[in-house]
Chain A
Amino acid sequence: MLEVRGLVAGYRPGAPVLAGVDLELASGRVLAVMGRNGAGKSTLLKAITGLARREAGTVRLDGRGIENRPTEWIVRAGIGLVPQGRGVFPGLTVEENLRLGGLGHRRPLPPAALYTRFPVLAERRDRDAASLSGGEQRQLAIARALAGNPRFLLLDEPSEGIQPSLVEELGATLAALVAADGLGVLLVEQNLDLAARLADECLVLEDGRVVDRLPGPVLADEPARIERHLGL
């Protein structure tokens, strides 16, 4: 279980972006985080993984406080992060990206295991990661985070900048990971269709606070409720 309580965090002292966020994420569940630009969604993921400056609050993994640990410790403890943007190591091959994702972890997944989930990466294994298409780079970024065999995966807008057919494919891959491997996913996403397909629950952030909690099916059944928050 990943639990966040009263998290206040940002980038400069005295100027928090998050103003006290609470959430719980269990294994095999998907929690979507939605909100307008600047609401604090990416900062939430960065604060959990020690990349943003925490001013108050706790982050617990299976009851153990991890909020004062450095990023690499948190990642090794089982929380993978796919940051916004391409999220791959340019200049390294696809296979090197995957090997690097597993180094330093106790039970890494070998590239071969990841290729079964992301077959296109197997075909590109010796190519420079920077030469892949946007969609392929997103898949590589997710596969790299999975190489450390995390129990929880924090995804920052995985569908950003990739074509709709690939978003569909990505959704299927993520759904399989959650169902088969019991992965817990914290999904920051602007794409309502992808969030609706995957989420068990959805938090809506506004100005660094949780202003609404919606059951997952609501996203698909009553999209107007979430669209109102997103200003759509």
Chain B
Amino acid sequence: MPVDPVLLLDALAQALTLFLVASGLAVTFGLVGVINLAHGELLLAGAYTALAVERAGLGYWAGLALAPLVVGLLGFLLDLLVIRRLRERPLDTLLATWAAALVVRQTVVALFGPASHTIQPPIPGSVVLLGAPYPVHRLLVMGLALLVAALLAWLLFATRLGLMIRGAIADRTLAAVSGLAVRRLEALAFAFGAGLAGLAGAATAPLLSVDPQMGLGFLLPAFLAVLVAPGGGPAGTAIGAALVGGGESLVAAFASPVLAQLAVLAGAVVLLRRVAGRRAGRER
């Protein structure tokens, strides 16, 4: 059976979009070790920031630039008010971040209503790629994901801050013993990871229907991408996103969307086993 190249392009687009969402999660999960169930809502906040900025007449690009800042600030507050108070209490953190997700979602409903909205792509239309028309904005999102990957790789492997973050991920206590202000580093990482989620929300908003539920669909695949990622760092997250996002997209195209969902569900079982395994490892 000949493979439609556009299908492969779609799978790549799906993987890169998921990478954009999961990279923020990888930073917070890797360093802070918290399963943040509000990550999808941080993406939602990014999309609605873009919507609000566009409605204010400032255009899409201003929204794309502002979303990571607004959501980064939201993440900073989430860490300050919730996450750091519940450190070493993983079950409480799950509940609290889920509650935070509800608060964000209901705030969005209160401010923008429950209906869905559309954001027009800044560069509408398509270009012919591999013999078929392909939406320009989807290509822009793919390019942005690659840019984020390069930025993360530079930040983690070529800067002092990156060395500190990798050290704190490898061993939090030893990082403190080496003189690093680990809590401040974690707060920064959480805000940065949230900012990336906000950027992902604003970037993908023109491709999706912007509604209060849009964050939910990203949460599980993003966690899967982070958990199946081999090793840490952007390269691992990219491989995880390719496996989960690209895999789901191809299974949906060649078999059925239902089977793709089942594959994600099977992945969720693996996720729970790995999380339980990590916790057991920490408690030993």
Within 8 A of A (CB), among B156-178: 160, 163-164, 166-167, 170-171, 173-178
Contacts of A103 in B (CB 8 A): 160, 163-164, 178-180
Determine if B232 and A105 form an interchain contact, defined as CB atoms under 8 angstroms apart.
Answer: no
Which residues of chain B are near A127, meaning CB under 8 Å?
none
B181 within 8 A of A: yes
B182 within 8 Å of A (CB atoms):
yes
Q: Given the complex of chains A and B, what is the CA–CA distance between A104 and B167 in angstroms?
A: 13
> What residues make up the interface of B, taking CB atoms closer than 8 Å to A?
160, 163-164, 166-167, 170-171, 173-182, 231-232
Q: Tell me the bound Cα distance from A145 to B166 in angstroms.
A: 18
Measured between C-beta atoms, what is the minimum distance from B185 to chain A in Å?
A: 10
The residue among B160, B175, B178 with the most chain A CB atoms within 10 A of its own CB is B178
- Of residues A49, A72, A81, A88, which shows the largest number of chain B Cβ atoms within 10 Å of its Cβ? A72
Which one, A76, A92, A96, contacts B179 given CB within 8 A?
A76
> Among A83, A96, A105, which residue has its beta carbon within 8 angstroms of that of B174?
A83
Which residue of B has the minimal Cβ distance to A83?
Answer: B177
In the A-B complex, list the 8 residue pairs whose CB atoms are closest, starting with the nearest. A104-B179, A75-B179, A71-B176, A89-B170, A100-B167, A76-B179, A81-B177, A72-B181
Q: What is the count of residue pairs linking A and B with beta-carbon distances less than 8 angstroms?
A: 68
List residues of chain A with CB within 8 A of the CB of B179: 72, 75-76, 101, 103-105, 148
Q: Which residues of B contact A26 (CB under 8 A)?
A: none
Q: Which residues of A contact B (CB under 8 A)?
A: 49, 51, 70-72, 75-76, 81, 83, 87-92, 96, 99-101, 103-105, 144-145, 148
Q: Determine whether the beta carbon of A148 is less than 8 Å from that of B178.
A: yes
Q: Give bound CA distance, A185 to B167, whole Å.
A: 25
In the bound complex, residues from chain B placing their C-beta under 8 Å from that of A75 are 176-179
B22 to chain A, nearest CB (A): 20
Closest to A90 in B: B170
> Chain A: which residue is nearest B170 at the CB level?
A89
Most chain B CB within a 10 A radius of its CB, from A49, A83, A103, A148: A103
Beyond A90-B171, A91-B166, A100-B175, 12 additional contacts (C-beta under 8 Å) are A51-B177, A71-B176, A71-B177, A72-B176, A75-B177, A83-B174, A88-B174, A91-B232, A103-B160, A104-B179, A104-B181, A144-B178
Chain A residues within an 8 Å CB radius of B167: 89, 92, 96, 100
Q: Which residues of B contact A92 (CB under 8 A)?
A: 163, 166-167, 170
- B residues less than 8 Å from A81 (CB atoms): 177
- List 5 A–B pairs whose Cβ atoms lie within 8 Å, in order of A's numbering: A92-B163, A92-B170, A99-B163, A100-B175, A104-B179
Q: Which residues of A contact B231 (CB under 8 A)?
A: 91
Whether B170 lies near A91 (C-beta < 8 A) is yes
Q: How far is the CB of A142 from chain B (nearest CB, A)?
A: 13
Using CB atoms, name the residue of chain B closest to A150.
Answer: B179
- Tell me the complex Cα distance, A171–B275, Å: 43
Q: How far apart sit A88 and B174, CA to CA, in the bound complex (Å)?
A: 8
Could you say which residues of chain B place their CB within 8 Å of the CB of A96?
163, 166-167
> Which residues of B have CB within 8 Å of A51?
173, 176-177
Q: With a CB–CB cut-off of 8 A, which chain A residues contact B174?
A: 83, 87-89
* Residues in chain A near residue B176, CB distance under 8 A: 51, 70-72, 75
For the complex formed, measure the closest distance between the CB of B248 and the CB atoms of chain A, giving whole angstroms: 29
A100 to B167, CA, bound (A): 7
Cα-based distance from A145 to B175 in the complex (angstroms): 11
Distance of A151 Cα from B163 Cα, bound (Å): 25
CB distance from B173 to the nearest CB of A (A): 7
In the bound complex, CA of A103 to CA of B182 (Å): 12
| Cβ distance B277 to chain A, nearest Cβ, rounded Å | 18
Docked Cα-Cα span, A70 to B160, in Å, equals 22
Chain B residues lying within 8 Å of A99, measured Cβ to Cβ, are: 163
Closest to A82 in B: B177
A13 and B182 CA atoms in complex are apart in Å by: 24
CB distance from A147 to the nearest CB of B (A): 8
Task: Tell me which of B171, B174, B182, B232 has the highest count of chain A C-beta atoms within 10 A of its own C-beta.
Answer: B174
Q: Closest approach, in angstroms, between the C-beta of A44 and any C-beta of chain B? A: 15
Q: Which residues of A contact B164 (CB under 8 A)?
A: 100, 103
Min CB–CB distance A144 → chain B (angstroms): 7
Contacts of A100 in B (CB 8 A): 163-164, 167, 175, 178, 180
Min CB gap A84→B, angstroms:
11
Contacts of B160 in A (CB 8 A): 103
Which A residue's beta carbon lies closest to that of B178?
A101
Residue of B170, B179, B180 ringed by the most chain A CB atoms within 10 A: B179
- Which residues on B sit within 8 Å (CB–CB) of A87? 174
Give the shortest distance, in Å, between A156 (CB) and chain B (any CB): 11
Residues on the B chain within 8 Å of A148, using CB: 178-179
> Would A83 and B173 count as touching, CB distance under 8 A?
yes
Shortest CB-to-CB span from B142 to chain A, Å, is 29
